[in-house]
Amino acid sequence: MSQRQIIQVFEQYQKARMQFVQTVADLASRPQNIEILHNAGVMSMLRPLMLDVVPSIQQTAALALGRLADHSDDLAEAVVKEDILPQLVHSLSLQNRFYKKAAAFVLRAVAKHSPELSQSVVASGGVDALVLCLEEFDPGVKEAAAWALGYIARHNALLAQSVVDAGAVPLLVMCLLEPELALKRIAASTLSDISKHTPELAQTVVDNGAIAHLAQMILNPDAKLKRQVFSALSQISKHSVSLAELVIEAEIFPAAVACLRDPDEYVKKNVTTLMREVVQHTPELSQVIVNCGGMAAVIDYLGNCSGNLRLPGIMMLGYVAAHSENLAMAVILSKGVPQLALCLSEESDHTMKAATVWSIGQIGHHTPEHAKAVATANLLPKLLELYMDASSSEDLQAKCKKALKSILQKCTYLPGLEPLLYDAPSNILKHVVCQFSKVLPHDSKARRLFVTSGGLKKVQEIQAEPGSPLQEHINAINSCFPEEIVRYYSPGYSEVLLERLENYQPA
């Protein structure tokens, strides 16, 4: 046979391999084919192709493997079991950039499913190889490597620590400075995943100067980048006061408030999350945010969105109001209470309702002024209703009770308290009656109103054990009114009168 014919045989084989690998890669991009491919034993076929002589076959095989592992948990485990990871990691350092991209894709696809799989990636030395990839020139390679590191670090603190120990953080911070948007996004997302676990990890990220670079990217027009930047900043600032102060010192605040009107809803959600994480630490930090007008912007945001997106905003209002009474008054003045009332009525999820109820409790419990603001928004009957409703979760009921108790102990606004006289259970009722007994002795107009609106009648109908605090309050209330009126309104008075009538002998 001539040389040409022999070489032709090899060429044919190569073409066949190439076609196989390309077709498998194309099929793997559709989810319905994955199961069939797996049953046909694609994993063991692809494994030798990854060691192929021809670089493009290697790359396409790696791509196909990555797509397969991406779709399902079992295939990712099969990749690990077939021992493909060590050779992937080994060739990561040797090959060209297309292969590196494909190999990083495979590592990412394997690591994303569970912590155990990520641990196996780490154990085969994947993290060091990926960190080496971060030093490459090609932005696509850096992006793939950063993405894989992000997925590894996402699962738990130990894995994030191993990523940090490999020295990834300075390289990621440098990636933030690159001009390519996709690379910036992925770097920000990975930093966010690293710093979310423990304060030490967040401190490491901050020590590498991440905050300044993240702060510069806040006003970038790209929405996805802003999402990741705000998410990273909020994960950093949630751990401690000093970290939150560092984030605030980067002077993001008046500018970040503008992002609350961004058309992308996740950007808005992440800005609000950042605000919440900053505000929860100290009153001074809350003061910074209130002073730059963040309160109004968040309340408008609550009005414009719905569902789970509202949760960070609601919690932020609660945290701000919890610190001191003038901050709570600032919340009230920024029209926070009507907005919270709307949220309470519109949302049906119990965790959201519990958060709203908690915030309302934090706002109303400081002084009678605050309690009056809450009562005029007609929230007390709603809170009572939620407390009494049997279908509310336990958490919701507990929060309602706590909020009601703390607000009622300061509430002196009697028209707001009256509806509560009728339906409340005895543990709430005693607080209501206690408030009445405090206010009525001093205010004659209130006494008149109390009688005419039927409150006195209701109070007489309450049965309490003698000597209990409830009975004492009832006695205190009765002592504010003349005997005849109290007797007139006591239950069964008409029978007593009729009895007297029967026994009366006209003279």
Partner 1 sequence: MAELLQIKSQVKEFQQEYVDKNSYAEENRQKENQAATRIQSWFRACKVRAYLSHLHKQAVIIQKIWRGFTARARFRQMVKAAYFIMKMNFYEEMAVRIQRRWRGFFVRKYIHNFYARKSYLEGVSQKNELVRQELDELEELQKRERDCLEMVKEQTAKVYQAYRLHHLLSTKQCPGVFNSPFRPAPHEMEQLLRQVKYQAPTRLAHRGRSSLLGMPGPAAPSFPGTPGSPWIKNTRTCSSSRPILHPIACKKEQSQFREPGEVWEQHVHCPDLTLRLQTSHTHLEEAQKQLRQQEGTGSMLHHLSHSRSSFTHPAYAKSFR
Residues binding partner 1 (CB under 8 A) = 3-4, 7, 18, 54-57, 59, 96, 98, 257-258, 260-261, 263, 290-297, 300, 326, 329-330, 333-334
Shorter beta-carbon distance to partner 1: residue 263 or 506: 263
Rounded alpha-carbon distances, angstroms, from residue 336 to 70, 267, 302, 406, 483: 45, 22, 10, 19, 45
Shorter beta-carbon distance to partner 1: residue 253 or 358: 253
Buried/exposed 370-384: b ≥16 CB within 10 Å, e otherwise = bbbbbbebebbbbbb
Rounded alpha-carbon distances, angstroms, from residue 176 to 53, 110, 117, 148: 36, 25, 28, 16
- Written in H, E and C, the secondary structure of 403-439 is HHHHHHCCCCCHHHHHHHHHHCCHHHHHHHHHHHHHH
Taking the C-alpha atoms of residue 476 and residue 305, their distance in angstroms, rounded to an integer, is: 48
Shorter beta-carbon distance to partner 1: residue 290 or 429: 290
Q: How far is the CB of 257 from partner 1 (least distance, A)?
A: 6
Q: How far is the CB of 300 from partner 1 (least distance, A)?
A: 7
Q: How far is the CB of 52 from partner 1 (least distance, A)?
A: 11
Shorter beta-carbon distance to partner 1: residue 290 or 375: 290
Taking the C-alpha atoms of residue 157 and residue 146, their distance in angstroms, rounded to an integer, is: 17
Q: How far is the CB of 127 from partner 1 (least distance, A)?
A: 28
Shorter beta-carbon distance to partner 1: residue 23 or 291: 291
Calculate the CA 20 to chain-centre distance: 46
Q: How far is the CB of 66 from partner 1 (least distance, A)?
A: 18
Which of 381, 452, 388, 451 has the alpha carbon at shortest distance from 411? Answer: 381
Shorter beta-carbon distance to partner 1: residue 291 or 427: 291
Shorter beta-carbon distance to partner 1: residue 296 or 309: 296
Q: How far is the CB of 330 from partner 1 (least distance, A)?
A: 5
Shorter beta-carbon distance to partner 1: residue 59 or 162: 59
Q: How far is the CB of 24 from partner 1 (least distance, A)?
A: 16
Shorter beta-carbon distance to partner 1: residue 110 or 295: 295
220, burial (CB in 10 Å: exposed 0-12, middle 13-18, buried 19+): middle
**Residue carrying structure tokens 């970038």:** 220
Longest dimension (CA), the chain: 148
- Written in H, E and C, the secondary structure of 138-150 is CHHHHHHHHHHHH
Q: Residues, the chain, total?
A: 507
Taking the C-alpha atoms of residue 303 and residue 414, their distance in angstroms, rounded to an integer, is: 30
Shorter beta-carbon distance to partner 1: residue 342 or 388: 342
Q: How far is the CB of 58 from partner 1 (least distance, A)?
A: 9
Q: Which residues contact 71 (CB under 8 A, 6 or more apart)?
A: 28, 31, 34
Taking the C-alpha atoms of residue 461 and residue 399, their distance in angstroms, rounded to an integer, is: 29
Q: How far is the CB of 296 from partner 1 (least distance, A)?
A: 3
Taking the C-alpha atoms of residue 297 and residue 313, their distance in angstroms, rounded to an integer, is: 10
Q: How far is the CB of 356 from partner 1 (least distance, A)?
A: 21
